[in-house]
Copies of this chain bind each other. A is one copy, B any other.
Amino acid sequence: MNFNTLSDAHLKDFQAMVAPDRFSTGESILDLHAKDQSAHPARRPEAVVWPQTAGEVAAILKYANEHRIPVTGWGAGSSLEGNPIPVCRGLVLDFTRMNRILAIREEDFQVDLEPGVVYQDLNEKLRHTGLFFPPDPGARATLGGMIANNASGTRTVLYGSTRDYVMRLVVALASGELIELGTRASKSSSGYSLINLFVGSEGTLGIVVAATLRLVGFPAEYSAAVATFPSVAAAARTVYELKRSGLNPAALELLGPECIALMNREEKLDLDEAPTLFIEFHGPTTEQLAEGLEAAREICTGQGCTDFRPGLGRAERDRIFKARHGLGEMIQRNHPEHRILIMDVAVPITAYIEMLAAMQAEVKTHGLIHYTLSHAGNGNLHLNIAGRKDDPAEWDLVQKVSERLVLKAIALGGTATGEHGVGLGKRKYMPVQHGTSLAWMQRVKELFDPNGILNPGKIFPG
């Protein structure tokens, strides 16, 4: 694609479309919109705009489309695969000032909101209703970003991903047209599910300007346990057995001992520094949860679990999950001399043991600093691998290890990305994962964004 750089005339026109205090070309502002939480290199946009209405977004897209100017949506910059880095420069639309909750439709279990709402803030606002929005990626992500990436988290094993909660979207297209998709009814068989094209499209097909999300009732009770194991392999076998048993945990997380050590140190926890599973159950009564935990204990013990601590209180559980959610950032902070590559594969649960073993073998063979953290119940595995910034050969090795492992996940029937999106880092795996259907994704892209102005350089291999 040939894009235009922003001329003074373009800049003046964009500025006129919003208020002067919602437009910037300041150096520090451009820097703040040049990178996400991944190791991908920063790239500054040429200008940043903070839209406040759907109409502003539509007008900006229409103009940008006519003038061949790249436009990239921006939520919180918390993504992990370079998804919002404006690699072709142009304009960034920052949605942090378009963050109103428009209506809480409590009795329909729905909420209408703008894309800049942060999901933790939403759940805080919902607290009095007894309802919540389950997907929990951890970082303070915006709903717009979560919809764009089909984000998920620790609760996805029971509650599903963001896609499962998107009922209705208003989307601004590259042409400047605003279209409304979906329905407020709990089910529909009316026409093509265009709404599902936009969920997970990483802002490359259109930009979400409003959404209606489904909510669910807060569980009456919850209960959690920590189980420690003599080896990562034993913990992995336990994950498989727990899934096979048909128990329905609300969280089933696997952490390597190096993660536990970091959490202990940074969050003053007192956990055994061993391979660990966090297991949580949600349900209507404490008795039922106790039964679930007892069944889980038996399975853990059968796999050599060395310590099983059930019945964590709410406060202790919250501290552990807060630490778990903060792990990505802790790892970065503790390795200032390193770049951190973040893997995010997911495999069918029968392949989980094999996939995790392959990961362990690779990092041990090469003596790489690594952190194993997995939404295990979904067969979703993260492996954060550190490579010294001043050692290009090591970074090269880290990337080669990652590549072998991602290809293995795909060969096992899995996916190159369980929740972080394709962004920049997973583009090269798209042909092998999707085969000839990738060409159809490209055609859909050309249909909705013929000039390719929306978040260019993402998803599709160069």
Measured CB to CB, the residues of A under 8 A from B are: 105, 107-110, 130, 149-152, 156-157, 161, 163-164, 177-181, 183-194, 196-197, 199-201, 205, 217, 240, 244, 246, 284-285, 287-288, 291-292, 346-350, 378-380, 413-422, 426, 429-430, 433-438, 440-441, 443-445, 447-448, 459
Partner of A185, one of B186, B287, B413: B413
Please name the residue on chain B nearest to A248 by beta carbon: B217
A110: which B residues are within 8 A, CB to CB?
A: 348
Which residues on the B side are within 8 Å of A180 (C-beta)? 435-437
- The contact of A156 among B184, B187, B201, by CB within 8 Å, is B187
| Cα–Cα distance between A426 and B190 once the two chains are bound (Å) | 8
- Docked-complex contact A348 and B433, CB < 8 angstroms: no
Q: Which residue of B lies closest to A217 (CB)?
A: B246
Which residues of B are found within 8 Å of A109, using beta-carbon distances? Answer: 349
Q: Report B-chain residues with C-beta under 8 Å of the C-beta of A433.
A: 183, 190-191
Q: How far is the CB of A256 from chain B (nearest CB, A)?
A: 21
- Contact at B418–A189, with CB atoms within 8 Å? yes
Question: A179 near B419 (CB under 8 angstroms)?
Answer: no
Closest 5 CB pairs of A and B: A196-B196, A184-B413, A185-B346, A188-B415, A217-B246
Q: Hey, which chain B residues are within 8 Å of A447, CB to CB? A: 443-444, 447
Residue of B nearest to A448 (CB): B440
Contact A105–B350 (Cβ < 8 Å): yes
| In the complex with contacts A348-B110, A447-B444, A193-B188 CB distance below 8 A | no
Check A190–B415 contact: CB distance below 8 A: yes
- Assess whether A378 is in contact with B187, with CB atoms less than 8 Å apart: yes
Say whether A197 contacts B192, CB under 8 Å: yes
**Smallest CB gap from A197: residue in B:** B192
Interchain CB contact under 8 A, B291 and A418: no
Known contacts A291-B284, A413-B183, A188 near B107 by CB under 8 Å: no
In the bound complex, residues from chain B placing their C-beta under 8 Å from that of A429 are 190
Residues in B whose Cβ lies below 8 Å from that of A443: 447
Interface pair A349/B107, CB less than 8 Å apart: yes
User: Which residues of chain B come closer than 8 Å to A196, judged between CB atoms?
Assistant: 193, 196-197
Q: Contact between A437 and B149 (Cβ–Cβ < 8 Å)?
A: no
In the complex, the answer to whether B348 meets A185 with C-beta atoms within 8 Å is: yes
Whether A189 and B420, one on each chain, are in contact in the complex, defined by CB atoms closer than 8 angstroms, is: yes
**Contact at A191–B434, with CB atoms within 8 Å?**
yes
Q: Is the pair B150, A189 in contact by a Cβ cutoff of 8 Å?
A: yes
Contact B189 A419 (CB under 8 A): yes
Contacts A189-B420, A191-B441, A193-B196 known; list 18 others, CB within 8 Å. Answer: A107-B244, A107-B349, A107-B350, A109-B349, A110-B348, A163-B193, A183-B414, A184-B413, A185-B414, A186-B380, A187-B419, A189-B421, A191-B438, A192-B445, A192-B459, A194-B441, A285-B288, A288-B288
Per the bound structure, the CA–CA distance linking A415 and B105 in Å amounts to 18
B-side contacts of A435, CB under 8 Å: 179-180
Residues of B within 8 A of A437 (CB): 179-181, 194
Q: Is there contact, CB below 8 Å, between A430 and B191?
A: yes
Given contacts A190-B430, A200-B193, A433-B190, contact A185 B444 (CB under 8 A): no
Q: Which residues of B contact A107 (CB under 8 A)?
A: 240, 244, 349-350
Complex CA distance for A191 and B418, rounded to whole angstroms? 11
